[in-house]
Amino acid sequence: MMKLLIAGNWKMNLSVTDTEAMLSELKNKTRSDDVDSLIIPPFTSLDAARKLLDGTGIALGAQNLSHEDDGAFTGEISADMLLDLGVSHVLVGHSERREYQKETDALLNLKVKKAVAKGLIPILCVGEKKADRDSGEHESVVGNQLKKGLEGVHTTDIIVAYEPTWAIGTGDVCKPDDAQAMAAFIKGELKDLLGTDAVRVLYGGSVKPSNVKELMAQPSIDGALVGGASLKADDFAALINLGE
């Protein structure tokens, strides 16, 4: 069994001042060493977060990267810029970016490859919509996202986050059995695609201190990607302590 990873995706929340307050508080909370942790703030807070996380063992992630190296791409952020700020992980294909920024599997594949080539660990987010689950298409939708997103990728230095879109920010958490079944399915697909399933698979979607323990007890789930419940130091510390 792999060491669990609890990753907090702040989305478009917390100013630099809020970041400093949150992380100063988090630093003073007791956290389990048995669990790896990762904070994924907005770009504007990366520098402040890096300074506060230094020496804490909590890693720093970004919410997106460009598939290009540099040049005339207004508003984009490159892998080198992230590395320069001490970032080790980067989200690729969060469902909100797939939906609102219309990011396609082909573009996400370029982003995964760019992250890997630069030594960043991409967290490829996959997950079905409610209609896909209701029609029993969830495995084929997620299988397809994996196949396209990981085409030509040959490394185990990646993470996959299974996030059914109907569970994100809704309070409608996936049943632990269903999350386990999908994580096991994803590991099977990874074995076919990468030749190994020694890749962390996270679950994301309405994880909170009250449900984290049961979800993290599932044998194929290696951690959680958490949005709303990662914004407050008390909640995030409780998640790392698996709700204790």
| Residue 41 contacts ligand PEP per CB under 6 A | no
Q: What gap in Å lies between CA 179 and CA 182, rounded to an integer?
A: 5
CB of 11 to ligand PEP, least distance (A): 6
CA distance 141 to 163: 12
If 0-12 CB within 10 Å is exposed, 13-18 middle and 19+ buried, where does residue 154 land? exposed
Please name which of 90, 178, 192 lies closest in space to residue 127, comparing C-alpha atoms. Answer: 178
For ligand PEP (CB under 6 A), the number of binding residues is 14
CB 231, min distance to ligand PEP, A: 9
Active site positions, annotated: 94, 163
Task: Give the integer Cα–Cα distance in Å for 190 and 156.
Answer: 9
166 annotated to a ligand binding site:
no
Binding mask 187-206 for ligand PEP (x = CB under 6 A): -----------------xxx
Do 105 and 67 meet the contact criterion of CB atoms below 8 Å apart? no
* Dihedral sign from CA coordinates of 179, 189, 112, 98: negative
Among 22, 228, 241, 242, binds ligand PEP (CB under 6 A): 228
DSSP string, 160-171: EEE--GGGTTTS
Segment 120-159, which members bind ligand PEP (CB under 6 A)? none
Identify residues 157-176 at the interface with ligand PEP (CB under 6 A).
163, 168-169
Percentages of the chain per state (helix, strand, coil), in multiples of 5: 45, 15, 40
Q: Which stretch binds ligand PEP (CB under 6 A): 41-49, 73-81, 150-158, 220-228?
A: 220-228
Residue 202: CB minimum distance to ligand PEP, A: 9
Nearer to ligand PEP, 78 or 173 (CB): 173
Judged by beta carbon, residue 223 or residue 228, the one nearer ligand PEP is 228
Provide the Cα torsion 88, 204, 58, 234; round to 10°: 150
Applying the rule CB under 6 A, the residues between 2 and 31 that interact with ligand PEP are 9, 11
> By CB under 6 A, is residue 223 in contact with ligand PEP?
no
What does R_g of the chain's alpha carbons equal in angstroms?
17
207 binds ligand PEP, rule: CB under 6 A: yes
Q: Tell me if 169 is assigned to a ligand binding site.
A: yes
| Sites of contact with ligand PEP (CB under 6 A) | 9, 11, 163, 168-169, 204-207, 225-229
- Which residues participate in the annotated binding site for substrate? 9-11, 169, 206, 227-228
